[in-house]
């Protein structure tokens, strides 16, 4: 995520950049910085912490003065939040300064080449590689230098660049990350979203992938990556500030649901090598260490716990290592059987959840090696665990998790494959097949979004429900628990998830005419069983919404309504199955006029027991 602003005009850039960054703070808030063209030099000031910390640093120290500058507010991916890792980054010669959103997937390879050539890096970021490449490719022509550099990058980026030889120009470019160029009476802006510049203008050019803009004080020229000029249409936005922060969506929850293809891609792609195998070089687990684990314990709270339940099926099936999954709040008090032959995996979006942190500490105390799966870089759980794998979902603002859950699933799938390769339970070619399928998940999630209107209509029929039940078996049951939580926490409809086979052992007595049931039928192997359960419920008057894989007519034959999801490998199905369930929860809450982003009594980060 992160936020970018740039200004080239007639006014003093520093206050404009700082005010713009303040508006972008919701996109990232662990460090920030600005670069201003000041007296023939690019002056960079940056600071760990919030924009207020940067303001104070500038106020206490040197205030850069100039009418051209770029700024950035960071949400850490590569490297902890720190002054050094904050953007902008200078090139080695300090001729260029760069701000960047996104993830440069081939940064490690490029960095190695640059290190061999003698470049010295001052940060752990992928962005600094872009700055160094600008020096390496410098041909005396700013645009050509940027274009050559872009051609050497893979991954996602929105970039803003200053060049010391060009006091009148900034260049920006984008691929898979939002970026716009805005026009005002006092000059031109670049911004990762319109929020940053709404105080000055509503007129903007929305940049598309692989477009580059050369932004002067009163001129803007657009090019494709071959350097050919392209024409673009100036647009006028009508959003107010709150709508702009949400990218035009009415709530953060739906914005974050819609961001899942990008979040999944960002979490997955950098961990895949060019020859299609998984590389988790952010962790220090060797094959021998993995083979030495007799058991894996997964702990988490709420949705993170639900990810653990899915992961149990995936790890046990692929790697054949026994897995236990615990609620963190239970684990810490159950005298768990954990020792040096156990790997304890703690899953947490915030990295600060009190029970998960204490569970981690308990596991460490008992001698277990620990690995965390965390979204917030530098958080307590990430810092205290032996290894950490980050989910690169970006900041999640809505209290109900969506994109963090989805990226946690991806990391756990990658871990399962890594473990399976180490134990030999999976051949490299079988692993490659799963990874190839994983690569298609973002596109398949986008396909589910085509049914958003249909799901919204189904949600309307949920508006006046008092109860809803989700049923499924195995991995579908694990998804059902999350689907049920999504519905109840935002819409306040009581809901429960049951393993289909358990219904007859008590729960079926709850069913009466009109009871709403959602039957999750993604698990190909057990779909017939779940369909039979659904039939039993319908016979007692239940209304059944089926979730089924495209082409499965059995479910259509019995259910009142069916939402179809694209086919993928059974172990990956949860990544698709959960998406319509998130949409169902969201639209039901909207229909019931609930406070979707901040449901009553809930907090985003639960830092007390
Ligand atoms: C539900 C939700 C919560 C969190 C739980 C753990 O939508 O967001 O159940 O999953 O509070 O939080 P983290 O992942 O920050 O440890």
Residue whose CA is closest, atom 10 of ligand 1?
303
pLDDT for res 535? 93
Rounded to the nearest whole angstrom, what is the distance from the C-alpha of residue 402 to the centroid of ligand 1? 10
Nearest CA to ligand 1 atom 3: 302
What is the position in ligand 1's atom list of the atom closest to the CA of 605?
15
Q: From the centroid of its chain, how far is CA 522? A: 24
Q: Say which residue, 194 or 418, is predicted with more confidence.
A: 418
CA dihedral sign of residues 167, 173, 178, 180:
positive
CB count within 10 Å of CB 69 equals 30
Distance 160 CA to ligand 1 centre (A): 34
**Which positions ≥6 away from 601 have C-beta within 8 Å?**
none
- 404 alpha carbon – ligand 1 mean position (Å): 9
**HSE-CB for 603 with a 13 A CA cutoff:** 9
CA 303 – ligand 1 centroid, Å? 5
Query: Which residue's CA lies nearest to atom 1 of ligand 1?
Result: 400
Nearest to 496 by CA among 524, 472, 521, 474: 472
Distance CA 265, CA 53 (A): 32
- With a 6 A CB cut-off, is 606 part of the ligand 1 pocket? yes
SS3 128: helix
Specify whether the CB–CB gap between 563 and 447 falls below 8 A.
no
User: Which residue out of 299, 353, 377 has the highest number of ligand 1 atoms within 8 Å of its CB and is therefore the one to mutate?
Assistant: 353
CA proximity to 69, closest of 3, 167, 142, 182:
167
Question: In this predicted model, what pLDDT tens digit does every residue of 533-571 receive, in sequence order?
Answer: 999 999 999 999 999 999 888 888 888 999 999 999 999
Strands (E), 11-128: 31-38, 41-48, 68-74, 89-90, 96-104
Specify the pLDDT at position 601.
86
Write a three-state SS string for 476-511. HHHHHHHHHHHHHHHHCCEEEEEEHHHHHHCHHHHC
Distance from C-alpha of 297 to C-alpha of 166, rounded to nearest angstrom: 56
pLDDT at 352 over 80: yes
Q: Where are the alpha helices (DSSP H) in 124-232?
A: 127-136, 142-151
From 232, 295, 561, 604, the catalytic residue: 604
Q: Would you give the DSSP letter of residue 208?
A: P
Question: For 293-320, what is each residue's pLDDT tens digit?
Answer: 999 999 999 999 999 999 999 999 999 9
Cβ–ligand 1 distance for 348 under 6 Å, the answer yes
Pocket perturbation via mutation, ligand 1, pick of 304, 373, 609 by most ligand atoms within 8 A of CB: 304
Residue 149 Cβ contacting ligand 1 at under 6 Å: no
How far is the centre of ligand 1, averaged over its atoms, from the C-alpha of 234 (Å)?
A: 41
Name the β-bridge partners of 172.
Answer: 160, 213
- Backbone region of residue 491 per phi and psi (left: phi > 0; alpha: psi in -120 to 50; beta: other values): alpha
What DSSP designation does 442 have?
A: H
54-68 tens-digit pLDDT: 999 999 988 999 999
Q: Which residue is closest in CA terms to ligand 1's atom 5?
A: 302
Ligand 1 pocket, 575 CB below 6 A? no
| C-beta of residue 405 within 8 angstroms of C-beta of residue 422 | no
Q: Which segments within 332-473 are labelled E, that is strand?
A: 342-348, 369-374, 387-390, 467-472
**pLDDT score recorded for residue 499:** 97
Residue 23: active-site member: no
CA of 129 to the centre of ligand 1 (A): 34
The pair phi, psi for residue 376, each rounded to 5°, is -95, 110
Quick: pLDDT tens for 207-248: 999 999 999 999 999 999 999 999 999 999 877 777 778 888
Q: CA-CA distances (angstroms) from residue 433 to 146, 262, 265, 297, 414?
A: 36, 21, 17, 27, 13
The whole-number pLDDT of residue 62 equals 84
Which residue carries 């205290």 as its tokens? 384
Ligand 1 centre distance from Cα of residue 351 (Å): 10
Average pLDDT of the segment spanning 84-94 = 96
Indicate the top mutation candidate among 325, 346, 349, 479 to test ligand 1's pocket, ranked by most ligand atoms within 8 A of CB.
349
Measured by CA distance, the residue closest to atom 16 of ligand 1 is: 348
CA distance 395 to 206: 22
Q: Express as a percent the part of the chain with pLDDT over 90.
A: 86
**In this predicted structure, what is the pLDDT of residue 178?**
85
Q: Are 91 and 131 in contact (CB under 8 A)?
A: yes
The DSSP bridge partners found for residue 221 are 214
pLDDT band for position 364 (cuts 50, 70, 90): very high
Closest approach atom of ligand 1 to CA 400: 7
CA-proximal residue: ligand 1, atom 7 (nearest): 400
Residues 508 and 538: beta-carbon distance below 8 Å: no
Taking a C-beta distance cutoff of 8 angstroms, is the pair 196, 23 a contact? yes
- Ligand 1: which atom is nearest the Cα of residue 349? 14
CA-nearest residue for atom 9, ligand 1, is 302
> Collapsing DSSP states into helix, strand and coil, what is residue 542?
coil
Atom of ligand 1 nearest to the CA of 353: 16
Ligand 1 atom, smallest distance to 306 CA? 10
Give φ, ψ of 212 to 5 degrees: -125, 140
Ligand 1 atom closest to Cα of residue 350: 15
3-state secondary structure 360-395: HHHHHHCCCEEEEEECCCCCHHHHHCCEEEECCCCC
Q: Quick one: pLDDT at residue 332?
A: 86
Residue 367 has pLDDT above 80, yes or no: yes
Structure tokens at 458: 């189904």
Q: Sheet of 494-499: strands edge to edge?
A: 494-499, 467-472, 516-521, 543-549, 561-565
- Four-residue CA torsion sign, 317, 318, 323, 328: negative
304 lines ligand 1 (CB under 6 A): yes
CA separation for the pair 406, 402 (Å, rounded): 6
End-to-end CA distance of the chain: 30
Spatial separation of the C-alpha atoms in residues 307 and 312, rounded to whole Å = 9
Is 481's C-beta closer than 6 angstroms to any atom of ligand 1?
Answer: no
The helix, strand and coil proportions of the chain, stated in percent and rounded to the nearest 5, come to 40, 25, 35
d(CA 167, CA 33): 19
Q: Which of 2, 172, 177, 301 is catalytic?
A: 2
- Alpha-helical runs (H) found in 269-353: 287-292, 302-319, 328-331
Tokens of 37: 């063209």
Instruction: Check pocket membership of 353 for ligand 1, CB cut-off 6 A.
Output: yes
Residues making up the chain, counted from first to last = 609
Active site residue 604: yes
- pTM of the predicted protein model: 0.85
Average confidence score pLDDT of the chain: 94
CA 68, CA 214: separation in Å to the nearest integer?
13
Q: What is the DSSP string of 51-71?
A: HHHHHHHHHHS-----SEEEE
Bridge partners, 175 (sequence order): 157
Residue 412 contacts residue 315 (beta carbons within 8 Å): yes
401: Cβ below 6 Å to ligand 1? Answer: yes
The pLDDT, as a whole number, for residue 1 is 67
- pLDDT above 80 for 27: no
Tell which wins on pLDDT, 310 or 608: 310
301 lines ligand 1 (CB under 6 A): yes
Where does the pLDDT of residue 494 fall: very low under 50, low under 70, confident under 90, or very high at 90 and above? very high
What average pLDDT score do residues 445-449 get?
98
């Amino acid at each position: 995520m992160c936020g970018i602003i740039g200004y080239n005009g007639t006014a003093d850039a520093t206050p404009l950049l700082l005010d713009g960054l303040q508006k972008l703070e919701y996109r990232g808030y662990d460090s920030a910085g600005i670069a201003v063209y000041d007296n023939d030099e690019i002056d960079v000031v940056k600071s760990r912490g919030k924009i207020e910390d940067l303001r104070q640093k500038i106020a206490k120290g040197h205030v850069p003065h100039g009418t051209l500058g770029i700024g950035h507010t960071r949400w850490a991916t590569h490297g902890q939040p720190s002054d050094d890792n904050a953007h902008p980054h200078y090139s080695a010669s300090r001729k260029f300064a760069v701000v960047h959103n996104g993830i440069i997937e081939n940064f490690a390879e490029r960095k190695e080449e640059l290190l061999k050539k003698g470049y010295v890096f001052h940060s752990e970021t992928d962005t600094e590689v872009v700055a160094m490449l600008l020096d390496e490719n410098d041909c005396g022509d700013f645009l050509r230098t940027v274009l050559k550099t872009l051609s050497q990058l893979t991954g996602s980026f929105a970039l803003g660049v200053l060049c010391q030889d060009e006091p009148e120009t900034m260049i920006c470019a984008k691929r898979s990350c939002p970026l716009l160029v805005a026009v005002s009476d006092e000059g031109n802006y670049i911004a990762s979203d319109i929020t940053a510049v709404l105080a000055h203008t509503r007129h903007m050019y929305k940049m598309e992938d692989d477009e580059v803009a050369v932004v002067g004080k009163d001129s803007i020229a657009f090019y494709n990556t071959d350097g050919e000029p392209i024409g673009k249409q100036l647009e006028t936005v009508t959003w107010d500030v709150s709508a702009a922060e949400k990218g035009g969506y009415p709530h953060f929850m739906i914005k974050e649901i819609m961001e899942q293809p990008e979040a999944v891609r960002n979490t997955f792609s950098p961990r895949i090598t060019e020859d299609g195998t998984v590389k988790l070089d952010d962790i220090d687990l060797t094959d021998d260490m993995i083979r030495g684990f007799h058991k894996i314990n997964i702990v988490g709270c709420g949705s993170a716990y639900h990810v653990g339940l899915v992961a149990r099926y995936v790890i046990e099936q692929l790697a054949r290592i026994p897995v236990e999954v615990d609620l963190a709040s239970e684990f810490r008090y159950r005298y768990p059987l954990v020792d040096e032959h156990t790997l304890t995996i703690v899953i947490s979006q915030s990295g600060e959840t009190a029970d998960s942190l204490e569970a981690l500490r308990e596991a460490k105390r008992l001698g277990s090696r620990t690995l965390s799966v965390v979204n917030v870089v530098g958080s307590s759980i990430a810092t205290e665990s032996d290894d950490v794998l980050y989910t690169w979902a970006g900041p999640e603002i809505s209290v109900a998790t969506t994109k963090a859950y989805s990226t946690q699933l991806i990391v756990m799938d990658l871990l399962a494959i890594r473990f399976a390769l180490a134990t030999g339970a999976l051949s490299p070619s079988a692993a490659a097949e799963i990874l190839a399928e994983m690569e298609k998940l973002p596109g398949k999630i986008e396909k589910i979004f085509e049914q958003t209107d249909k799901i919204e209509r189904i949600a309307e029929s949920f508006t006046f429900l008092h109860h809803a039940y989700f049923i499924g078996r195995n991995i579908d049951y694990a998804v059902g628990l999350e689907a049920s939580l999504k519905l109840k926490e935002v819409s306040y409809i009581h809901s429960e998830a049951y393993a289909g086979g358990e219904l007859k052992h008590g729960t079926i007595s709850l069913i009466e005419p009109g009871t709403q049931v959602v039957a999750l039928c993604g698990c190909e192997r057990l779909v017939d069983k779940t369909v039979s359960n659904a039939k039993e419920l319908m016979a007692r008057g239940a209304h059944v919404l089926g979730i089924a894989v495209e082409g499965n007519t059995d479910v259509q034959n019995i259910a009142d309504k069916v939402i179809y999801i694209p086919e993928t490998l059974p172990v990956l199905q949860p990544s698709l199955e959960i998406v319509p369930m998130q949409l169902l929860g969201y639209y039901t809450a909207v229909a019931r006029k609930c406070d979707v982003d901040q449901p009553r009594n809930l907090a985003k980060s639960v830092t007390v027991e």
